[in-house]
Amino acid sequence: MATAQHNTSTTTTTTTAAAATEHVAPAERKQSVASASNFNINAPSWQSCYYCTREHFKSVAEFVNHLRSRHCTREGGSFVCRYGFNGVCASLPLDGVSDRDYDAHVAKYHVNQQTRELPPEWGVYSAAQNLPAVLNDPQRGKQSNLFTKKWGEHFVERVHIPSTPRLPDITHADFAVYLGSIGKRYRWHERRQQQQQQQQLTPTTATPEHLGGVPVPEIFLKSQLQLHHAATFAQVFPNYMQPEAGEDNASCTVQRQQTGRQLQEQLSHYLDIVEVRIAQQVAQKSAAFFHAMTTQHAILAEMQQAAEQVRQLRAALAQLHGSAVVDSFRVMRFAQRRQHYHATLDKLRLMATVHKTQPMLQLLLGTQDYVAALDLISTTQEILAAELLGVHCFKHLPMQLGEMEKLIDKMLTTEFERYAATDLNRPLTDADLETDSVYAEEDKLVAIVMGLLRKQNFGFVQSYQQEAIATIRAIIKQLLIELLSRGDHEVCLTGAGEQSLELTLAEWLAMLQRASHALVAVLERIKAVVSIMQQTADAAAGGSSPHEHAVNLIDSEAFLSAAHHELLSAQLQQLLQAVCHYCHERCANIVSPQSLERCAATEQELLQLTQVVQEFCEATQSICNAPSVPLQLALKVQASRYAQRFHAERKQKLALLLDQERWRQVDIPHEFQRIIERMSAGDYAKQAPLDGSLVTNNGIDVSGNPVLLLEGKQPFALVGVALLLIQMLYEYGGSAHRLPLLASYHARNVVDLLRCFNSRSCQLIIGAGAMRVAGLKTITSTNLALVSRALQLVLYLLPRLREHFESMSGYEAIERDYQGHIKEIEHKIHGIVSERITAQLEAWDARPPIPSQTFRHISRHLVKLHEAIAGVLPEPQIHEIYGVVHRNFKDKLREQLLKLNIYNNGGPQHGVVTSELTFYMETLRTLKALPANQLDNGILEHIWLY
């Protein structure tokens, strides 16, 4: 019992120690983890990472790879090192370096670092606060003590966070059930610990093991003790067979006997120890041993009962195997055999079907069902590769099917080319009937196109485009042959249908008109064919066509992918645009060789050409939904040539008329009056050619009104060249109205014509060129006034012309030039009179008679000037001219009075000056040369104001 208690206490002590070890282990583990997280200052810097505490590296390459993947960012083509506190490296610029420089930086500053510093510990001051976010917090409102706070961790007040309502309050009562269930075990555990402590304090009875002093060697406790082995025998009988040196045999025998007795006693002692331990174990397990012995008979009875049950079970299983299992397996075997027979029959039927593939292909090709033939070939090839692989009789069939597929591809290409050539070279009919004739052959075209799409052979679009271009070239060549065969010219046509000799413009227009009608018919035919191709492609892609004439297709699966469908649609649209563009190029080649400069085309012919081109462009744009440029460019070239010739003729005519002009006022024919009225109203639709009888060598015939009335109340006295300029401007506007294509050219030419008129008239009148060219004796004020009035008429018409042409480059410049020219004429007019008045005043002296001869001459000059310009210039302009003359007169008179020392003192000379000025003002009042408010006697006072 003592031994049992001792073993029990030992076991309890061991369990307690193990439990203590289990409780201590987590603390030690935490301490080891914490110690592992600390950095070794003396270790190389590349063995661990400052900021990834769990990362340890065995080589420099691993550390460098870690820095590149975890602590480096790539911005564009540069590398930025982030190996530092807050992701910033202190030794690398923020803008980054190249790949090679980054490797050098890592090797210098992070791998080969001499001293290893500890990373900065995170503290409260390591955190950063966003000042704008704090100040702009909408929940805080306006802060009164903002400027008295110090920036830091206490800048923002700490807010108490209330407990969440989702978590319940935990009290001591919640653990009552747990404490009640664990309390019984805990009390039992406490009692066991107290017993163990008492056993440790009480001395136990000595066992035979302690008495012997030597425990049983481990070799006797092994399950296999083989003494025939030398090593085992030597360990069990140490030094038993080895005699000592220097001893005889007798002494060796005696010594061996003593040793044998000692060994026998020791083995006997080991046996006693084992018997004692066995007795202890038997004493401890005696209750279980006796219990096993008492239940042995019951166990034997249960085993006999179990053996009987096993025999009965085996008999039942044998009966079940004979009656149920064997028959079921036989039924399953028969079912599997029938399934194999059916599979063999299906395989034979499949082989018979494959054997009929070639006759079926011939039948399908005879009915032009190319898609079905190609599907049959592909399906047969898949069956041969998947289900009939290795069948000897079909070893040559895949090669034959491949050759048949190539033959069908070639047949499709040939049939399509034949169809395209036949369809495009049919006799031309009306464009409205072309689509009906194309849809009549719809089934054949659909079959060919479906076959080509099934083969994914999209080259037929390019082939059809080339055939269409060849047809267009042949049509133009045939038209040229028919046109040239009617004349006597010997011509030589090139392959493109162009001719080497020139024809008349009428022939070219007729040729272009016929070519445009023929090409539109061909393009309508091509559009109908392309529409059928597009509908076929839509059906092959699995879509439905919304067109009026939908193609009739055999029900089949969609085999055209979305990418191929989009590519084919783009190619078909490009085909229409390319063919229309080629038609425009061919028609442009018809127009371009004919030079309108040599043929002197009329406006009517150019209008006819424009109508033909416009109709053709609209027709082609409706076909391909895209504008074509070549023919329009050719038309613009011809229009530019016509506009240049039109402008050159009128500019030359205007220059001749300006050189022959005598600059005298002429009567205005009624036809010119109507032209001005139409130009004022913006009406250029009517052509109003002037009769040749109205125009003479020296100007305009006298029949008509003496002045030109603008808006019914503004009279304009004009010269003959001004009237012809109006006629030319009306012709420019009418030509632009009838041919809008010429508007931009005529707008520039009108500006050039007006600039020419302005500069040439300035040279002839202000520069006195008319005295040399036209034979004038002198340039009078009337001539200047007539030129000014003509320029004013042009200024009146300029806004109307600009509105009519819609765009006139240089309008502001020409307006400034005309206004400057008018001011220069006015300066010339009052300059002539002011010079004569100044010459008279320089010789004047304040003495009787009154009025003096000087003032009589001044009055005569003023009257002559008024007579010269009164019937030409309007009254406001006359007042302006006389106002300048009047100011010059007063300035010169003041100078003369200062020179003569005459003052406003009421003396005799003062009276003479007053009488002279009264006579001067009376002359101005008689002429009404100044406004009424300036014709009073205020000059008698103003003349003395210096």
> Rounded to the nearest 5°, which phi and psi values hold at 714?
-95, 110
pLDDT tens per residue, range 407-436: 788 888 888 888 888 888 887 765 555 565
DSSP string, 899-923: HHT--SSSSHHHHHHHHHHHHHHHH
In a domain, 801, yes or no: yes
Asked if 649 and 603 sit in the same domain, the reply is: no
The token duo for 138 is: 């909408």
Quick one: CA dihedral 548, 551, 556, 559, positive or negative? negative
The confidence score (pLDDT) of residue 207 equals 45
What CA–CA distance (Å, rounded) separates 905 from 909? Answer: 9
In a domain, 100, yes or no: yes
- Helices 853-869 and 781-805 cross at an angle (nearest 10°) of 30
Percent of the chain scoring above 90 in pLDDT:
4
Q: Where are the beta strands (DSSP E) in 285-357?
A: none
pLDDT tens per residue, range 180-237: 888 888 888 888 888 877 766 654 444 444 444 567 888 887 777 888 888 888 888 8
Q: Rounded mean pLDDT of 662-680?
A: 86
Among the candidates 80, 95, 116, a domain finishes at 116
What CA–CA distance (Å, rounded) separates 700 from 716? Answer: 15
In a domain, 431, yes or no: no
> Rounded to the nearest 5°, which phi and psi values hold at 417?
-65, -40
What CA–CA distance (Å, rounded) separates 355 from 348? Answer: 10
Is residue 535 within 8 Å of 545, Cβ to Cβ?
Answer: yes
The confidence score (pLDDT) of residue 436 equals 59
Asked if 749 and 847 sit in the same domain, the reply is: no
Asked if 779 and 875 sit in the same domain, the reply is: no
In a domain, 373, yes or no: no
Among the candidates 747, 777, 809, a domain finishes at 809
Asked if 601 and 655 sit in the same domain, the reply is: no
The whole-model pTM stands at: 0.54
| Beta bridge mates, 81 | 72
DSSP string, 351-373: HHHHHTHHHHHHHHHHTT-HHHH
Query: CATH code at 856?
Result: 1.20.1280.130
The token duo for 180 is: 């009640």
**pLDDT band at 314; cut points 50, 70, 90:** very high
DSSP string, 823-853: HHHHHHHHHHHHHHHHHHHHT--S-SSSS-H
What CA–CA distance (Å, rounded) separates 946 from 942? Answer: 8
The token duo for 126 is: 């390591």
Local structure of 317: helix, strand or coil: helix
For the ranges 7-16, 280-289, 428-437, 925-934, the one whose mean pLDDT is highest: 925-934
For the ranges 250-264, 328-342, 543-557, the one whose mean pLDDT is highest: 328-342
Q: Rounded mean pLDDT of 856-870?
A: 89
Asked if 637 and 608 sit in the same domain, the reply is: no
The confidence score (pLDDT) of residue 117 equals 55
Among the candidates 584, 619, 654, a domain finishes at 619
154 pLDDT above the threshold of 70: no
For 79, the enclosing helix (H) or strand (E) is strand 78-81
DSSP string, 503-517: --HHHHHHHHHHHHH
Asked if 604 and 747 sit in the same domain, the reply is: no
Asked if 803 and 838 sit in the same domain, the reply is: no
Number of domains in the chain: 4
Query: Parallel, antiparallel, or unpaired: how do β-strands 695-696 and 699-700 relate?
Result: antiparallel
DSSP category for residue 220: G
In a domain, 267, yes or no: no
104 pLDDT above the threshold of 80: yes
811 pLDDT above the threshold of 70: yes
The confidence score (pLDDT) of residue 68 equals 87
25 pLDDT above the threshold of 50: no
Q: Identify the residue whose tokens are 């038309």.
A: 635
CB atoms within 10 A of CB 63: 22
Asked if 754 and 670 sit in the same domain, the reply is: yes
What CA–CA distance (Å, rounded) separates 450 from 455? Answer: 9
Asked if 511 and 657 sit in the same domain, the reply is: no
For the ranges 157-161, 587-591, 813-817, the one whose mean pLDDT is highest: 813-817
Is residue 666 within 8 Å of 699, Cβ to Cβ?
Answer: yes
The confidence score (pLDDT) of residue 112 equals 76
8 pLDDT above the threshold of 60: no
The confidence score (pLDDT) of residue 692 equals 40
In a domain, 511, yes or no: yes
The rounded Cα 21 to chain-centroid distance in angstroms is 71
Q: Identify the residue whose tokens are 């079907």.
A: 353
Quick one: CA dihedral 699, 701, 702, 705, positive or negative? negative
**H-type alpha helices, 49-136:** 60-70, 99-106, 131-135
In a domain, 11, yes or no: no
The confidence score (pLDDT) of residue 871 equals 83
Higher-pLDDT residue of 46 and 369 is: 46
Is residue 534 within 8 Å of 549, Cβ to Cβ?
Answer: no
Is residue 419 within 8 Å of 444, Cβ to Cβ?
Answer: yes
Give the alpha-carbon dihedral of 216, 220, 223, 229, to 10 degrees. Answer: 160
The rounded Cα 748 to chain-centroid distance in angstroms is 40
Local structure of 742: helix, strand or coil: helix
The token duo for 798 is: 């300029």
Asked if 648 and 560 sit in the same domain, the reply is: no
The confidence score (pLDDT) of residue 439 equals 61
In a domain, 420, yes or no: no
Is residue 431 within 8 Å of 524, Cβ to Cβ?
Answer: yes
Is residue 747 within 8 Å of 808, Cβ to Cβ?
Answer: yes
Q: Which residues contact 691 (CB under 8 A, 6 or more apart)?
A: 671
Q: Rounded mean pLDDT of 245-255?
A: 68
The confidence score (pLDDT) of residue 598 equals 56
Asked if 608 and 683 sit in the same domain, the reply is: no
pLDDT tens per residue, range 604-617: 878 888 888 888 88
The confidence score (pLDDT) of residue 599 equals 59
Asked if 607 and 682 sit in the same domain, the reply is: no
Structural domain range at position 74: 43-116
**pLDDT band at 341; cut points 50, 70, 90:** very high
CA angle (769 as vertex; 768, 775 as ends), nearest 5: 100
Query: pLDDT averaged over the chain?
Result: 77
Q: Identify the residue whose tokens are 């409260």.
A: 124
Local structure of 293: helix, strand or coil: helix
| Residue 783, CA distances (Å) to 174, 701, 727 in order | 125, 19, 21
